[in-house]
Every structure is written in structure tokens, then in C-alpha cells.
Amino acid sequence: MNLLNEKLTDVQFNRLKNFIETTAGIKMPYSKKIMVESRLIKRLNFLKFRDFTEYIKFVFEFVDGRKEIFNLIDAITTNKTEFFRENEHFNFLRKKAVPHILVNLSKKTDKKIKIWSAGCSTGEEVYSIAISIEEERLLGLRLSDFFIYGTDISVKVLKTAEKAIYRLDSVRSLPDFIKKKYFLKSKDKKDLLVRIKPEMREKSMFGRLNFMDDNYGLEGKFHIVFCRNVLIYFDKAIQQAIIRKILKHLDKNGFLLVGHSESLHGLDLPLKKIAPAVYVKI
Ligand SMILES: C[S@@+](CC[C@H](N)C(=O)[O-])C[C@H]1O[C@@H](n2cnc3c(N)ncnc32)[C@H](O)[C@@H]1O
């Protein structure tokens, strides 16, 4: 069956748009129609539906179709990421944030540094954090243990994050010593894959979390939250509501890092900007 010419009608697009905007908060202007069409055609093919009418009916009207909502959201989200993306944040983490947190932790019984990668996609951000902290530790700083929690709305990306297997291309620009220390090469050389070493995988955990949920169900507070290149998908009111919920899980004086192209300007939040795309909770 050739579905290449299958098009979403405006009514169908609007139904999907309303659903995505209320469920995931992601803005869906009309300019995204072609992107939505081409991503969902893959789902139609996979499920062997003849057209969008059948697919939409299945998703919204059939009990069995409810499970497809996860795949629909997977198909709509943009998961672009890379190791050490916006590298200044990792320098900030090593040189400023971690030493600062350690001073405060020295007075407490629970000495674990807790970091949340909110909207972690396939996990490169989580492992870049783990590698950065571990490198600092190996340099002889007396670091307590650390833990990174990665969350995302997309179940597909979380599976990749947990497996921690990446294309060799994705680590090509990293220094050789980092590759040797933290990545395993595939036994079959033809595979062109690498995997994060178990010691680093053990520092992290992943879970599904939708920023639109009223309650994030997280226990305790984090010292640092990375919420980078996520807010751009939401309008200002939703950004403000999401960050307020995130801040409930950030320690007082904890750090919030957003993407360098994301601005919190004009939002009413208990945050002080201390460096480009770096905020402290006040
Ligand atoms: C472009 S990636 C950013 C990945 C990483 N933080 C970085 O900067 O490289 C944005 C991620 O936000 C996730 N996302 C979008 N809407 C979300 C929502 N409502 N709740 C949780 N995660 C969401 C997407 O699934 C995607 O993986």
C-alpha cells in the first residue's frame, strides 16, 4: 500500500493539534502540518491503516487505540540532542555548581549530589553530566557520590537512554581519553556503535514525566536541574507553569540551566540569572 500521497485534512490536523497542545503542551502551528503528516505516515504504515481517518478513529475512539497515544507523542516530539551540547554548561557544572553544592552538603548527612535532566531525550545530556562530574572527581576533588535522574515524555527516547548505546559518529568529536575512559566499543567492528560503561550507567535512572502533569511525583529535591532546549516548544504561560512545578523540586539556592536560545525574560519566577542560561532559585 502506498501512503506517500496521504494528506491530513485541516479538520484532522486541528484535532491532532488540540490533542497534542492539551496533552503535551507542545505548540502546533499550522506550519507543522507537513511535519506531522510525514511522521504519522510511518505509524499508518506500521499499523497497516489505509488512511488518516482510520488512524485518528483508532487513536481517539478505540480502547486499544489508547496505547497508540504514546507512539503518537513519540512521533511528534523533536528529540535532537548531543553529547556536551552547549558545553559551557558542563564547565559551569564542574567548576562552579558542584564545588558550591559540596560546601553545603558537607554539613548534611545525605551527601549525594542530585541532578535532574528534565527533557533528557536519548540520554546524551545525562551521560555528559555524569562524565563531567566523574572527571572532576578523578582530578582529586573530594566529591561525594552523585545521582542523575533523566525524564522525558517520549518512551522511545527513554529506552535508548537506558540502553546507552549510540552511533560511533555521535562521539567522534569527543577527546580520545574521554572515549576510552567512558565508552565501550562494539565487539563487532562493523556495528559502528559505542556504549556508555556500566559505572556511568549506574549513576543514572530514567523515568517518563510529562511536564503538563499537575504533580510530578518526585521525591526530595534536586541540587541542579537541566531543562534545556525544551521550553521553546511551549508558549510563555505554559513555560511559566512548568518552571514553577520544576522549582518545587529544586533546592533553595539550587541551579536551573535552560538552553542558550531560551529566555525566561518576562516570566514571574523566583529565579536570579547568574550566567548565560544559568539561574539560581531564590
Ligand atoms: C530537543 S530535546 C532536548 C534534549 C536535551 N535536553 C538537550 O538539550 O539536548 C527536547 C525533549 O523534550 C521532550 N518533551 C517535549 N514535550 C515534553 C513534555 N510535555 N514533557 C516532558 N518532556 C517533553 C521531548 O520528548 C524531547 O526529547
pTM value surpassing 0.85:
yes
The reply to whether 40 and 95 lie within a common domain is: no
Contact (Cβ atoms closer than 8 angstroms) between residue 151 and residue 117: yes
Q: Whose CA is nearest to atom 23 of ligand 1?
A: 153
pLDDT in tens, 122-146: 999 999 999 999 998 876 666 668 9
Which pLDDT score, from 0 to 100, does residue 5 have? 78
Report the pLDDT averaged over residues 106-123.
Answer: 92
Q: Whose CA is nearest to atom 10 of ligand 1?
A: 230
**Best mutation site among 19, 21, 77, 127 for ligand 1 pocket (most ligand atoms within 8 Å of CB):** 77
Out of 21, 43, 76, a domain closes at: 76
Looking at ligand 1, which atom is closest to the CA of residue 81? 9
Which pLDDT score, from 0 to 100, does residue 256 have? 98
Q: How far is CA 202 from CA 97, 138, 149, 215, 242, in A?
A: 22, 17, 11, 27, 28
37 pLDDT exceeds 80?
A: yes
Residue 163 in grid coordinates? 540502553
Out of 53, 76, 99, a domain closes at: 76
Strand pairing category for 193-196 and 183-185: antiparallel
Q: What percent of the chain has pLDDT over 70?
A: 96
- For ligand 1, whether the C-beta of 280 sits within 6 Å is no
Helix H or strand E segment including 94: none
- For ligand 1, whether the C-beta of 23 sits within 6 Å is no
Q: What percent of the chain has pLDDT over 90?
A: 87
Contact (Cβ atoms closer than 8 angstroms) between residue 127 and residue 196: yes
Q: Which of 229, 216, 245 is nearest to 151 (CA)?
A: 216
> How far is ligand 1, taken at its centre, from the CA of residue 121, in Å?
6
The reply to whether 15 and 114 lie within a common domain is: no
SS3 content of the chain, % helix, strand, coil (to 5): 45, 20, 35
Q: Give the chain's mean pLDDT.
A: 94
CA distance 215 to 40: 30
83 occurs within a structural domain? no
Q: How far is CA 278 from CA 10, 134, 225, 262, 268, in A?
A: 40, 21, 10, 11, 16
CATH code of the domain covering residue 64: 1.10.155.10
- For ligand 1, whether the C-beta of 96 sits within 6 Å is no
- For ligand 1, whether the C-beta of 71 sits within 6 Å is no
- 252 phi/psi in degrees, rounded to 5: -60, 140
Looking at ligand 1, which atom is closest to the CA of residue 86? 8
Whether 167 sits among the annotated catalytic residues: the reply is no
- For ligand 1, whether the C-beta of 211 sits within 6 Å is yes
pLDDT in tens, 97-108: 999 998 888 788
HSE, side-chain direction, 13 A CA sphere, residue 251: 16
Which pLDDT score, from 0 to 100, does residue 39 have? 94
Q: Whose CA is nearest to atom 26 of ligand 1?
A: 79
The reply to whether 54 and 192 lie within a common domain is: no
Q: Rounded to the nearest 5 degrees, what angle is found at the Cα of 232, between the Cα atoms of 227 and 234?
A: 100
CATH code of the domain covering residue 189: 3.40.50.150
pLDDT in tens, 184-200: 998 887 889 999 999 99
Number of Cβ within 10 Å of residue 221's Cβ equals 16
The reply to whether 160 and 267 lie within a common domain is: yes
268 occurs within a structural domain? yes
Residue 40 domain boundaries: 10-76
Which pLDDT score, from 0 to 100, does residue 136 have? 87
CA distance 246 to 267: 14
> How far is ligand 1, taken at its centre, from the CA of residue 122, in Å?
9
User: Catalytic one among 94, 152, 201, 228?
Assistant: 152
Whether 39 sits among the annotated catalytic residues: the reply is yes
* Number of domain units in the chain: 2
pLDDT in tens, 6-34: 899 999 999 999 999 999 999 999 999 99
